[in-house]
Structure 1
């Protein structure tokens, strides 16, 4: 599992005083930086590999300014060229949101998917989601 701690900003709150629902997709993406580094180590967008094809976000509890959040990211499934992540967001040790996201390893120049290399696949296996996590 990958763990990321983020500090909510005042600008991310909404009129009713909690973190705006549009903020969570950005936070979840920020927690994926270790995965982006696996696929594109130099972060060169001309050689970027991961493209998102699906995401499903479930809101469970409200999130507030003033307390850090923790995002936990697991690898749920690994296909030939795709991978599915499962993510949870916690504040004060309370589960506040869940997300699943599917990425495809994609060659921008060729405009087609590519198999996930064995070296990356091996690292991803170290972060597998277990139902009892």
Structure 2
């Protein structure tokens, strides 16, 4: 599991006085950075190896300004060229949201998916969770 803490900023709240639903997608992406580094340690955008194929967010509880949140990141599935990242947002010891993202190892030159190396699969599996 990877863990990342975020301070909820005032600008991330909406008219209902809770965190806007669009903010969670940003937190999830930022918290996936350690996974990106498994594929490209320098985070070199000219040599980026992944594309996002899909994502889903489920909102379980409201998230409020003034209290930090933790995003927990796991790997839930590893395929030949794609894998799923499962994430949770926690605030005050309560799970407030979950997210599931499918990332694909991608060859931009050939414009097609490419297999994930066995070394990377081993690193991913060390963060795997059963759902």
* TM-score interval (norm. to shorter): over 0.9
Question: Is the 8 Å Cα contact of residues 47 and 107 (structure 1) preserved in structure 2?
Answer: no
- Name the SS for the 2:21 alignment partner: coil
RMSD: 0.9
Alignment correspondent of 2:108 = 108
Aligned residues: 131
Superposed CA deviations along residues 63-111 of structure 1, whole A, max 9, x for unmatched, are 0111110111111110000001111110001010011110000111221
Deviation at 1:41, TM superposition (A): 1.4
Deviation at 1:130, TM superposition (A): 2.8
- Poorly superposed stretches of 4+, deviation over 3 Å: none
Matches within 5 A, 1:41-52: 41-52=41-52
Matched, 1:82 2:82: yes
Partners of 2:89 and 2:122 lie apart in 1 by: 25
Which runs of 5 or more structure 2 residues have no equivalent in the other structure?
none
Partners of 2:107 and 2:11 lie apart in 1 by: 36
